[in-house]
A and B are shown apart, each in its own frame.
Chain A
Amino acid sequence: MKVRQIMSQRYAVIHPDDTLQQARTVMLTRNVRHLLAIDREDRLAGLVSDRDIREVYPSSLESPDQHQEIIRVPVHQFMSKMVITIHPDDDIEEAALLLYENNIGSLPVIEGEEIVGIVTMKDILYALIELTGLHTHGSTIKVEVPNRPGVLADIAEVFKKHGMCINSVMTSISGPLNRRLNFRVDTINPRQVVREIEEKGYQVVWPPKEGFYEKE
């Protein structure tokens, strides 16, 4: 999946010479947590996060007259200038890694000189939900497999033989030599395919074996 597929094209902007008060208002009215600060040539000059605002904005417990000066501070004084950006054709896992390692909430998406969007933690989270197949129809089958060539094809073969559509597949690491495969398969009755996967020597973790709890 590419950043282009999950990014938001409707990002909120602010000018570096605008005030703290204006930045805060834009954030509240647009209901976003990140503003792109752009210069007169529409180029990215910085980024303002809700964390930046909270750091400089006066406490709501103080009286308003003390605020007058602070809220007129220009954006360029407190915006982040060392902004980490990403390209729309980068993979989303790269975006996820950047957000995670740098402890940040969003990445402006830049193509050449042009700002084309923003990708936030929330977009990544949604992509993760999609990847797990939680939004797709079907029965879940989980298989524990050794990490060696041909395993996935071997199991996919079983679904193919039964004409069953795999709506989603996800792998996770379950040990140094093992992988856990999560399939979402379009059937109400996975019993036969489960038997056949087991006959091939793989351990099916879900659904549990019939008689798992020794049904009488």
Chain B
Amino acid sequence: MKKSNPLFIYDDALLRYKFHQDHPFNQQRLKMTVELLQTWGMLPDSQILAPVAATEEQLLLNHTSEYVKAVQQAGHGNPDTKEFEVFGLGTEDTPIFAGMHEASSLNVGGSILIGDKVMTGEIEHGINFAGGLHHAFPGRASGFCIYNDVSVLIHHLVREYQAKVLYIDTDAHHGDGVETSFYDSPDVMTVSIHETGRYLFPGTGFVTDRGKGSGYGYAVNIPLDAFTEDESWQDAFVQVMERVLNFFKPDVIVSQHGCDAHWFDPLTHLSITMDTYRKIPQWIHEWAHAHTDGRWIALGGGGYDIWRVVPRAWSMVWMAMNDLPVEDREMPKDWLEKWQARASVQMPASLFDREGWFKPIPRRKEIEQKNRQTVAQILRFFP
């Protein structure tokens, strides 16, 4: 039986995951991505699927009932911020907003929906860009993330389908919440490539953090130096992933597509370009067909330059997933005009970044050398 085309989770209701007007985590990027793909004729209505909110029982796969209760209460009525502080709610990173439980449950539900469709064989791949909120802990919000849809999804995949899950996190921040959820599990292998935690939030994800107990060896961290560029990033990623795929035999790949490692991103200091964001989904697509019979669930993540980076990067994930040729092209005029009117910066007119947009990094050689040493250290751990 031929499987259906990939599905894309979207509904305007997902935009309700909104802290406030000036908050850097801005889901308008979802709408921008959808409209971009629609303008290009790459996203027919038949491939769009509205999410269904996760049930409380599903949330409890990863979260404590005290925490879920706190999120519910915080989002309703007049919350006393002090009371919610222990849950990481009402902070500058994760402010309280009306209906936050409902909005967050919808994110989680979207990821589970794609997970079910992939595991039952209805589709090979699917995307929930509203998901990928990898920082949330079982009992605490962190780094803009309320519920950890990734951890809930992976718990669900393990429990319902006895699946072995390979999680690949290319966000510029360490995927600490997901790693912690499965740190002692040999059924779930987590790989996170990120800017070193020596300076950048969340401050974890070092080379020697490899899991514990029977899960030892099933967590891999690739911490890169600040100002790492495309070539060095890609070398590190591919070298480590080849060893990971040789070691772990997954049933399904879950990938997190935070795109905040780009030059333009205001929150991190990595310096990669669209070249890497074009290749990541193409590699993962190939790996899925080579190792998991095509089973691949793609999620969103960080990405705080919504004008210049996120729609371009995410549209390329969808193109790769649908086997559409990923070539440089002009951004559609109408789309550009509409969003440029609201943007605070000049939006790029092409899908790819162009020569001359970025200045050379002065310490390139040192950075590349340090990253090579990091990779060598990681590879020494493999059997």
Contact = CB atoms under 8 A, between A and B. Distances in A.
A188 B264 contact: no
Contacts of B93: 187-189
B202 A137 contact: yes
Interface stretch (B26-34, B97-105, B157-165, B353-361): B353-361
Given A188-B135, A189-B93, A213 B267 contact: no
B271 interface: yes
Contact of B269 (A163, A188, A208, A216): A208
A99 B12 CA distance: 64
Contact of A138 (B203, B263, B267): B203
A215 interface: yes
A76 to B, nearest CB: 42
Contacts of A213: 227, 271, 358-359, 361
Given A137-B204, A138-B202, A184-B203, A164 B266 contact: no
A206 B201 CA distance: 13
B336 interface: no
Given A139-B203, A163-B92, A208-B269, A134 B358 contact: no
B144 interface: yes
B79 interface: no
Contacts of B227: 213
Contacts, number: 62
A184 B144 CA distance: 18
A63 to B, nearest CB: 38
B92 A139 contact: no
Contact of B202 (A188, A191, A207, A216): A188
Nearest to B266: A210
Contacts of B199: 139-140, 206-207
B325 to A, nearest CB: 27
B19 to A, nearest CB: 11
A162 B92 CA distance: 7
A169 to B, nearest CB: 14
Contact of B201 (A188, A208, A210): A188
A136 interface: yes
B243 interface: no
Contacts of A187: 91-93, 201
A163 B90 CA distance: 9
Interface in B203-233: 203-204, 227
A215 B198 contact: no
Contacts of B267: 188-189, 191
A32 B263 CA distance: 49
A62 interface: no
Contacts of B358: 213, 215-216
B292 to A, nearest CB: 31
A214 interface: yes
B357 A134 contact: no
A134 B269 CA distance: 19
B326 interface: no
Given A134-B198, A163-B92, A215-B264, A188 B173 contact: yes
Provide the main secondary structure of the chain A interface: loop
A197 to B, nearest CB: 15
A139 B135 CA distance: 14
B75 interface: no
B85 to A, nearest CB: 8
A206 B173 CA distance: 17
Given A188-B93, A188-B135, A191-B267, A214 B201 contact: no
Given A162-B92, A163-B91, A191 B201 contact: no
B331 interface: no
B24 interface: yes
Contacts of A210: 266
Contacts of B91: 163-164, 186-187
Contacts of B263: 215
Interface in A130-174: 134, 136-140, 162-164
B143 interface: yes
Nearest to B267: A189
A143 to B, nearest CB: 13
A191 B266 CA distance: 8
Nearest to A190: B201
B357 A189 contact: no
Contacts of B359: 213-214
Interface string B246-285: 0000000000000000011011010100000000000000
A208 B266 CA distance: 11
Contacts of B357: 216
A213 B359 CA distance: 7
Interface of A: 134, 136-140, 162-164, 184, 186-189, 191-192, 206-208, 210, 213-216
20 contacts: A134-B198, A134-B203, A136-B203, A139-B200, A139-B201, A186-B91, A187-B91, A187-B92, A187-B93, A188-B93, A188-B135, A188-B142, A188-B267, A192-B92, A208-B269, A213-B361, A214-B359, A215-B264, A216-B357, A216-B358
The 4 A-B pairs with the shortest beta carbon distances in the complex, nearest first, are A188-B143, A140-B199, A188-B201, A139-B201
Interface of B: 24, 91-93, 135, 142-144, 173, 198-204, 227, 263-264, 266-267, 269, 271, 357-359, 361
